[in-house]
Amino acid sequence: MALPAHATTGERIWYYTFRVLVAVVFIYLIFPILTIIPLSFNSGEFLHYPLQGVSLRWYHDVIASGQWAVAVKNSLIVGVCSMVLATVLGTTAAVGLNRVNFPGKQLLVAFLISPMMIPLVISALALYLFFAKIGLNDTYLGIILAHTILGMPFVLITVSATLQGFDYTLVNAGASLGAAPLPVFFRIVMPLILPGIVSGAMFAFATSLDEVVVVLFIAGPAHRTLPLQMFSGIREHLSPTILAVATMLIVFAGLLMLTLEFLRKRNEKLNAPANIAA
């Protein structure tokens, strides 16, 4: 949208005003997150600029303090377990749903992805009341099940999306050449829908790693996850240690984003020849 040579003064003014406007919006979007990073290297205890000096003391603090280490450990346990469960259950269900058509299928899908739409506090309350009856509050299993349910819709959606372009004659070809259903799935279907599975899994993991509300209801002190530790830290005593943790999470978000972009590009390339053929 370059400015043409014959543009009028009004058009010129608008052209530059619009660019300034977009720049301001972009600064609003990105700037607050970037301000955290330098502050986490501050050697002093203040949470504002100017920096008193540069040091890694808050990062040492994160590693040295037992609380944060436990929180990271808990988050990894819960995140990995719920990611695996959500990915396996979500992928199999997506494959199953893709195979058949029946009345009410849309409704079923809507029900299965409802944890994504229903306000978190409602899921949290419902699980808290239910877990109180069956003794799953304050347990790893309870948190893992809750996060599986919250992360699964993403897997279902991403895998269903990759399956939409999937050519089922490949499955028939495999079967007609004598392969049993499981080898057909693992050697033919899975490699082709892998980008969808991986991005779904990453969504599920990221959901678990960022989830506070449900954990706030159902986790006991021994099962504090990283976001819960951060939440109470921000609420009760905001220390620069939290900024160090936040910086690490920003770096993690960057890596996540790059991986997903890579997968998306790869998927586009994979689908491109099929599109031409069709």
Partner 1 sequence: MALQDVADKSLHDKLRRAERRKKIEAVSLIGPLLLLMVIFYFIPIGMMLYRSIDNSQMREILPETAKALAHWNGQGLPDESAYAAVVADMKVAYPARTLAGAGRRLNFDKVGFYSLLLKTGRKLKKIGGPPYKEKLIEIDSKWGDPKYWTVMKRGLKNITLIYLLRAVDLRYDDTNSIVGVPEEQAIYKSIIQRTVYISLSVTILCLLIGYPLAYFMATSSASVRNLLMIGLLLVFWTSLLVRTLSWILVLQDKGVVNSFLLSLGIISHPLPLVFNRIGVYVAMTHVLLPFMVLPLYSVMAGIPSYYVRAARSLGATPIAAFFKVYTPMTLPGIGAGCLMVFIQALGYYITPALVGGPKDQMVSYFVAFFVNERVNWSMASALGVVLLLMTGSFYLIFGKRVNITNMKLG
Tell me: does residue 192 bind partner 1 (CB under 8 A).
no
Nearest-angstrom CA–CA distance, 44 and 53: 7
Interface segment toward partner 1; rule CB under 8 A; list 62-70, 71-79, 248-256, 268-276? 248-256
Interface segment toward partner 1; rule CB under 8 A; list 56-64, 167-175, 239-247, 266-274? 239-247
Tell me the closest approach of the beta carbon of residue 103 to partner 1, in angstroms.
14
Instruction: Return the H-helix or E-strand segment holding 99.
Output: helix 66-99
CA angle 76, 79, 80 (to 5 degrees): 80
Tell me the closest approach of the beta carbon of residue 247 to partner 1, in angstroms.
9
Candidate residues 77, 249, 270, 271; the one interacting with partner 1 per rule CB under 8 A: 249
* Amino acid letter for position 164: Q
Tell me: does residue 111 bind partner 1 (CB under 8 A).
yes
Interface segment toward partner 1; rule CB under 8 A; list 63-71, 73-81, 171-179, 244-252? 244-252
Nearest-angstrom CA–CA distance, 59 and 67: 14
Q: Which of residues 91-110 bind partner 1 (CB under 8 A)?
A: 92-93, 95-97, 99-100, 108-109
| CB contact burial 169-187 (16+ within 10 A = b; e otherwise) | eebeebeeeebeeeebbee
Tell me the closest approach of the beta carbon of residue 163 to partner 1, in angstroms.
12
Alpha helices in 9-56 (DSSP H): 9-39
Candidate residues 4, 9, 28, 275; the one interacting with partner 1 per rule CB under 8 A: 28
Tell me: does residue 208 bind partner 1 (CB under 8 A).
no
Interface segment toward partner 1; rule CB under 8 A; list 61-69, 187-195, 210-218, 265-273? 210-218
Nearest-angstrom CA–CA distance, 244 and 250: 10
Nearest-angstrom CA–CA distance, 101 and 180: 23
Q: Which residue has the tokens 């299993």?
A: 141
Q: Pattern of binders to partner 1 over 133-152, x per CB under 8 A?
A: x-----------xx-xx--x
Contact predicate 31/43, CB 8 Å: no
User: Any idea how long the chain is?
Assistant: 278
Tell me: does residue 213 bind partner 1 (CB under 8 A).
yes
Nearest-angstrom CA–CA distance, 229 and 64: 15
Tell me: does residue 58 bind partner 1 (CB under 8 A).
no
